[in-house]
């Protein structure tokens, strides 16, 4: 792989190092894909390094949406909609992107409870990552309020999906 190809290359090359660091610090193996994904997206989209910038990417933010309180694994807001982080420890503005990491204990809630709320609150994009199945499902909210499954990626597919199509990373780096 060309070393100049951006943050995706860094993810692929550095995965084993990140994995060893996380394991050494006591993180659970199943949490490591989320941690790697955070690191991959945070830099390019928050600071603009090898990416477009203009995003707040937050790990496990507390969302207060229309009477419901949700805590997604990751959420992102375009800075044009959320110029600064709120003073409160929660967000009342629906994010522009949500990512849920599925597990046997959360899959039913993520799909049957959270997805309809995210659609109701007009979150434009939703990613579901299943570490056990090694898949990424990319959803886009339609005008009618329903989710459209845009793509299901698996194993070591290259990922360049909305709203982060400006960067490329290998999904396989999450499972290595």
> Is residue 40 in some structural domain?
yes
What pLDDT is attached to residue 85? 87
Q: What is the 3-state secondary structure (H, E, C) of 50-65?
A: CCCCCEEEEECCCEEE
Q: What pLDDT does residue 45 have?
A: 56
Domain count, the chain: 1
- Asked if the structure places residue 1 within a domain, the reply is no
What are the structure tokens assigned to 158, written together? 């290259």
- Residue 176, pLDDT score: 66
The helix (H) or strand (E) run that includes residue 118 is helix 115-120
Each residue's pLDDT tens digit in the chain (176 positions)?
A: 333 334 344 444 455 656 666 676 677 777 777 666 655 444 555 544 444 567 888 889 999 999 999 999 999 999 889 988 899 999 999 999 999 999 999 999 999 999 999 999 999 999 999 999 999 999 999 999 999 999 999 999 999 899 988 788 888 887 76
SS3 (DSSP) at 151: strand
Residue 2 within any structural domain of the chain: no
* CATH code of the domain covering residue 22: 3.90.1570.10
Residue numbers of the domain that contains 127: 7-175
In a domain, 25, yes or no: yes
Q: Residue 167: inside a domain, yes or no?
A: yes
Which pLDDT does position 34 carry in this prediction? 67
């Amino acid at each position: 792989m060309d070393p100049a190809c951006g943050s995706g290359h860094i993810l692929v090359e550095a995965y084993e190092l990140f994995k060893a660091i996380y394991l050494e610090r006591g993180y659970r193996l199943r949490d490591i894909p989320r941690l790697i994904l955070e690191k991959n997206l945070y830099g390019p989209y928050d600071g603009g390094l090898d990416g477009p910038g203009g995003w707040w990417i937050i790990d496990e933010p507390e969302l207060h949406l229309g009477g419901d309180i949700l805590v997604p694994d990751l959420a992102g807001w375009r800075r044009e909609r959320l110029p600064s982080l709120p003073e409160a420890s929660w967000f009342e503005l629906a994010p522009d992107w949500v990512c849920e990491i599925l597990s046997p204990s959360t899959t039913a809630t993520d799909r049957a409870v959270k997805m309809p709320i995210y659609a109701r609150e007009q979150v434009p994009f939703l990613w579901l990552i299943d570490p056990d199945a090694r898949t990424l499902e990319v959803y886009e909210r339609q005008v009618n309020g329903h989710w459209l499954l845009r793509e299901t990626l698996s194993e070591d597919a290259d990922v360049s999906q909305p709203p982060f199509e400006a960067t490329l990373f290998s999904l396989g780096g999450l499972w290595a």
